[in-house]
Amino acid sequence: VLAGAIVAGVIGAIVAAVMWNRSRNEANANQALLAVPSLIGGEAPGDASAAKALLGISQQYPGTSAGAAAQLLAAKELFLGGKYSEAQQEFSKFAADYSGNALVPQANVGIAACLEAQGKIGDAVQQYKKINVIYSGSPGIVVPVKLTLGRLSEADNKPDQAVTYYKELINIQDPNDPWVREAYERFQLLVAKHPEL
């Protein structure tokens, strides 16, 4: 009985130490994240030094919520700084490393936006279509994605496909939604150019 109590006490102490260390690690990561100038308005968006600092936090504190946020924010900073290939790598790494994170849909949209910004329109369209299917029940994700698919279809001289995406958005019938409003405006312009649609 005494040996069992000692073993239970040791296990309890180890668990407590691990939980305390994890909590301290998370607090340190949060503190480091809040010290990055771009997060408190000290730097312009797309600042290379902010991206570097954020990547450092994500590498120093992997597995923490602040480390995950730092990686996603670093990808955003790289994108805004015009470093689309590097941003795509970080968005992809975030999606792979934090597959259960609630922000994975945003990382997937980031990947598609990076592909589009690099001129890889076919790959971007495929990524946007994949997002449209995977997150079909999440209007906050698919509504802007459908608008983008419509815009890319227009640019690719596929007005019939563009009209389909725009109609899907118009059918939401929310005049306060800026994406729906833009879809309606684009739809009107497109139909004026192509009355057959």
Residue-wise pLDDT tens digits, 110-154:
999 999 999 999 999 999 999 999 998 888 899 999 999 999 999
Q: How far apart are CA 176 and CA 197, in angstroms?
A: 26
What is residue 18's DSSP assignment? H
Nearest residue to 32 via CA among 65, 78, 77: 65
Non-local (6+) Cβ contacts of 69 within 8 A are: 33, 103
Q: Average pLDDT of 157-169?
A: 93
State residue 85's pLDDT score. Answer: 96
Q: How far apart are CA 21 and CA 89, in angstroms?
A: 30
For the entire predicted model, the pTM comes to 0.79
Non-local (6+) Cβ contacts of 163 within 8 A are: 150, 187, 190, 191, 194, 197
| CA pseudo-torsion sign 28, 30, 36, 42 | negative
Residue-wise pLDDT tens digits, 46-95:
667 888 888 888 888 888 888 888 888 889 999 999 999 999 999 999 99
Is the pLDDT reported for residue 11 higher than 80?
Answer: no
Residue-wise pLDDT tens digits, 16-32:
444 444 566 566 666 76
C-alpha radius of gyration, the chain, whole number: 23
pLDDT more than 90, % of the chain: 49
For 148, the token pair is 């983008």
Tell me which of 195 and 38 has the higher pLDDT.
Answer: 195
Residue 40, judged by CB atoms within 10 A of its CB (0-12, 13-18, 19+), counts as exposed
